[in-house]
């Protein structure tokens, strides 16, 4: 068998991490190693969420030359009054919320940037603060799918109306009777057309492109009436001919 490609090696590491969500260790950063008589004890050491004592890489691991910040391990053992990890693989912290979400704690969506639509994933995305494990190890700010709930439907409606979700609708954005951002305003309930669109999305549990496509396989006219309420009547016939807009 040929050696794995870079992509295959990455996928193998992600598979291992998905199977070992509670076998994650983090290197102790230099700023946490105090200048004391015990500083040698913590040099090149790692922490495991469930242990107070430092742990170390097995001497046979090639990773002991690079000491990656985040790792997973298969086995843990004690030798000569030190605790070692065996079967080690390097991981990236941004993988943890995806493959080990039960070990993570997520903040509310951050206000530093507005939610956006990821056309590759077909989902509403936002930035969050994330910590890992009981010790609350901070991870980098993550761009993740917007939390489930009414706001995710509202943002999908906004991106649907401005043509980001379904590109054929982009040419009608300038003709909309209200701006798409109306869907996420606090006074959204004041306009009947916003309520109708939001209601149809929530009833159908349509909060991603995949769920929209599935709904149109069952009923190709789903959302048609709700969308036409947003455009002048002179465009209705043209929109009828392109529905569903995929």
Q: Does 36 have pLDDT greater than 60?
A: no
Q: How many domains does the chain have?
A: 3
**Range from 36-45, 72-81, 124-133, 215-224 carrying the lowest mean pLDDT:** 36-45
**pLDDT tens digit sequence for 38-67:** 666 677 899 998 788 889 998 888 898 899
Residues 215, 224: contact at Cβ < 8 Å? Answer: no
pLDDT at 65: 87
Asked if 80 and 102 sit in the same domain, the reply is no
Asked if 155 and 237 sit in the same domain, the reply is yes
Asked if 117 and 201 sit in the same domain, the reply is no
Which domain, by its residues, includes 45?
A: 6-90
Closest residue by Cα to residue 159 from 208, 202, 203, 199:
208
pTM for the full predicted model: 0.82
User: Please, is 236 exposed, middle or buried when counting C-beta atoms within 10 Å of its C-beta (0-12, 13-18, 19+)?
Assistant: middle
The continuous run of DSSP H or E covering 52 comes out as none
The continuous run of DSSP H or E covering 117 comes out as strand 116-118
User: Which residues 6+ apart lie within 8 Å of 217 measured at CB?
Assistant: none
Asked if 75 and 121 sit in the same domain, the reply is no
Asked if 141 and 155 sit in the same domain, the reply is no
Asked if 137 and 154 sit in the same domain, the reply is no
Asked if 86 and 15 sit in the same domain, the reply is yes
**Assigned domain for 158 exists:** yes
Asked if 107 and 179 sit in the same domain, the reply is no
Whole-number average pLDDT of the chain: 91
Asked if 40 and 106 sit in the same domain, the reply is no
User: What is the spatial distance between Cα 61 and Cα 65, in angstroms, rounded to a whole number?
Assistant: 8
Closest residue by Cα to residue 21 from 102, 89, 119:
102
**Assigned domain for 82 exists:** yes
**pLDDT tens digit sequence for 134-170:** 889 999 999 999 999 999 999 999 999 999 999 999 9
**Assigned domain for 1 exists:** no
Asked if 139 and 70 sit in the same domain, the reply is no
Asked if 161 and 213 sit in the same domain, the reply is yes
Asked if 228 and 196 sit in the same domain, the reply is yes
């Amino acid at each position: 068998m040929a050696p794995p490609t870079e992509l295959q090696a990455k996928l193998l590491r992600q598979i291992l991490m998905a199977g070992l969500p509670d076998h994650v260790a983090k290197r102790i950063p230099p700023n946490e190693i105090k200048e004391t008589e015990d500083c040698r004890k913590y040099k090149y050491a790692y922490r495991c969420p469930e242990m107070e004592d430092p742990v170390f890489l097995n001497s046979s691991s090639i990773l002991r030359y690079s000491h990656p910040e985040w790792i997973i391990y298969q086995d843990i053992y004690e030798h000569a009054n030190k605790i070692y990890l065996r079967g080690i693989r390097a991981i990236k912290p941004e993988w943890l919320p995806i493959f080990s979400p039960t070990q993570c704690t997520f903040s509310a969506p951050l206000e530093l940037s507005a939610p956006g639509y990821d056309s590759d994933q077909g989902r509403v995305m936002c930035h969050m603060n994330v910590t890992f494990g009981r010790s609350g190890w901070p991870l980098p700010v993550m761009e993740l799918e917007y939390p489930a709930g009414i706001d995710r439907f509202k943002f999908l409606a906004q991106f649907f109306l401005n043509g980001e979700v379904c590109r054929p609708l982009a040419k009608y954005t300038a003709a909309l009777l209200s701006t798409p951002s109306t869907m996420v305003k606090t006074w959204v309930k004041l306009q009947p057309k916003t309520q109708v669109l939001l209601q149809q999305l929530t009833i159908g549990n349509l909060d991603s492109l995949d769920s929209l496509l599935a709904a149109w396989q069952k009923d190709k006219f789903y959302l048609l009436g709700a969308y036409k309420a947003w455009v002048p009547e002179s465009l209705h016939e043209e929109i009828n001919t392109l529905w569903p807009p995929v």
